[in-house]
Amino acid sequence: MKIYGYGKQNITEDDIQSVLEVLKSPYLTCGPKVKEFEQAICEYTGAKYCVAVNSATSGLHIAMLAAGVGGGDEVITSPMTFLASANCARYCGADVKFADIEKDTANIDPNEIKKHISNKTKAIVPVHFAGQSCDMEKISEIAKENNLFVIEDAAHAIGSDYKDVKVGSCKYSDMTVFSFHPVKTITTAEGGAVTTNSKELYNKLCAFRSHGMYKDGDMANDWHYEMRELGYNYRMTDVQAALGVSQMKRLEEFKKRRREIVDYYNKNLGLSHLIEKDFSNACFHLYPVLVENREKFYFAVRKKGLNLQVHYIPVHTQPYYKAQSYKWGDFPNAEEYYKHCISLPLYPELTDEDLKEIVQRIKELL
Ligand SMILES: *Cc1c(COP(=O)(O)O)cnc(C)c1O
């Protein structure tokens, strides 16, 4: 019996060649491939600047730092996300405020965001769940009215469009963070990137990525450098960037196939699923369905060779966040969604035969 997981990387001979060339070159890190990858992301998204990093988690951390988030501040994000969207605020000593999701998209609800804004709020981190953009125009209006930074967690959403722009263009935000973990749409094994249109934020992101070091003005021509802030080593290697450059070339192809698979499931499964809004043209990362008895369904599909996953356990219910006074019952929409959700296989390698097979195995259980 063929086993299917929920996601899988797609690696070709071209990807392998691209990596091998770097291994034979003088630069394994801090070389031209990282620049080339950043350039490719700028060209694709339309953003002015891009900073490649070693994970989206690092990217979210330096985005927080660049926005000046620190102790005593509050950051608003969705409870229906991976831990990192919230943890990045904690790294900087800020408190996390969650805002509940919309039932039909599982994206953060802009009206809920408003309810959680206080005079301590510094930033909003909308998460583009499953690849569908949040309502960024609304979120950006709320941010402007309250003088807040918007940092998009687009770990799911490279390749997605919102209205007239690509996610990552930063038309409606200050910074956007992508992930290139193997389950995401394109991969660099581990990796991430931050895009922005602000020169000032770009300079800060570059510094925080590498120890808070600056080498500018007269220093550019000799050994001097200055550490002006406490930074980290969050650099991406050229080996990873080479894989990224090669993968970016297939992003449109990946998007097309991912959307075909989503259409197929929507038409053939008859299970309750998220809706796509008119403003969205998503490069879907996940295909979650909602089933009556998720516990039972999860173990039953496993027996049928479908190793599906649950995205996500609401972040506020984790022991760490419970210790900060959150509890079950705080965000009913996210909790209700969690009780029923399970993500089906969604990756470009799936053939039409695979899809038929998967749908048949699931229908035998309904
Ligand atoms: C995967 C993911 C991250 C973290 O990405 P890494 O590259 O693994 O650090 C952050 N946010 C969301 C929503 C994710 O899905």
Amino acid identity, residue 331?
F
Q: Which pLDDT score, from 0 to 100, does residue 218 have?
A: 87
Q: Cα(85) to centroid of ligand 1, in Å? A: 8
Distance of CA 77 to the CA centre of its chain: 13
Cβ(45) – ligand 1 distance below 6 Å:
no
User: To test the ligand 1 pocket, which listed residue (53, 85, 177) has its Cβ within 8 A of the most ligand atoms?
Assistant: 85
Q: Cα(311) to centroid of ligand 1, in Å? A: 12
Q: Name the 3-class secondary structure at 101.
A: strand
User: To test the ligand 1 pocket, which listed residue (82, 178, 185, 187) has its Cβ within 8 A of the most ligand atoms?
Assistant: 82
Cβ(127) – ligand 1 distance below 6 Å:
yes
User: To test the ligand 1 pocket, which listed residue (55, 75, 181, 183) has its Cβ within 8 A of the most ligand atoms?
Assistant: 181
Amino acid identity, residue 316?
H
Strand partners, 166: 161
Strand partners, 210: 233
Please tell me the total number of residues recorded for the chain in this structure. 366
Tokens of 14: 């071209």
Q: Cα(83) to centroid of ligand 1, in Å? A: 8
Write the pLDDT tens digit of every residue in 146-158: 999 999 999 999 9
Cα–Cα distance measured from residue 143 to residue 163, given in angstroms and rounded to the nearest whole number: 19
State the SS3 of 212-239. Answer: CEECCHHHHHCCCCEECCCCCECECEHH
Q: Which pLDDT score, from 0 to 100, does residue 55 have?
A: 98
Q: Which pLDDT score, from 0 to 100, does residue 220 have?
A: 83
Res. 162 pLDDT band, cuts 50 70 90: very high
Residue nearest to atom 2 of ligand 1 (CA): 155
Cβ(56) – ligand 1 distance below 6 Å:
yes
Closest approach atom of ligand 1 to CA 84: 10
Cα–Cα distance measured from residue 15 to residue 12, given in angstroms and rounded to the nearest whole number: 5
Cα–Cα distance measured from residue 114 to residue 2, given in angstroms and rounded to the nearest whole number: 47
Q: What is the pTM of this model?
A: 0.98
Cβ(128) – ligand 1 distance below 6 Å:
no
Write the pLDDT tens digit of every residue in 312-337: 999 999 999 999 999 999 999 999 99
Write the pLDDT tens digit of every residue in 339-365: 999 999 999 999 999 999 999 999 999
Q: Cα(28) to centroid of ligand 1, in Å? A: 24
Q: Cα(153) to centroid of ligand 1, in Å? A: 8
Q: Contact 346/287 with Cβ under 8 angstroms?
A: yes
Cβ(55) – ligand 1 distance below 6 Å:
yes
Cβ(192) – ligand 1 distance below 6 Å:
yes
Tokens of 85: 């969207």
Res. 221 pLDDT band, cuts 50 70 90: confident
Cβ(239) – ligand 1 distance below 6 Å:
no
State the SS3 of 248-311. Answer: HCCHHHHHHHHHHHHHHHHHHCCCEECCCCCCEECCCCCEEEECCCHHHHHHHHHHCCEECECC
Q: Which pLDDT score, from 0 to 100, does residue 240 have?
A: 98
Write the pLDDT tens digit of every residue in 71-106: 999 999 999 999 999 999 999 999 999 999 999 999
The torsion angles phi and psi of 179, rounded to 5 degrees, stand at: -120, 145
Q: Cα(345) to centroid of ligand 1, in Å? A: 18
Cα–Cα distance measured from residue 238 to residue 245, given in angstroms and rounded to the nearest whole number: 10
Q: Cα(82) to centroid of ligand 1, in Å? A: 6
User: To test the ligand 1 pocket, which listed residue (6, 53, 55, 57) has its Cβ within 8 A of the most ligand atoms?
Assistant: 57
Residue nearest to atom 1 of ligand 1 (CA): 155
The torsion angles phi and psi of 307, rounded to 5 degrees, stand at: -90, 80
Cβ(255) – ligand 1 distance below 6 Å:
no
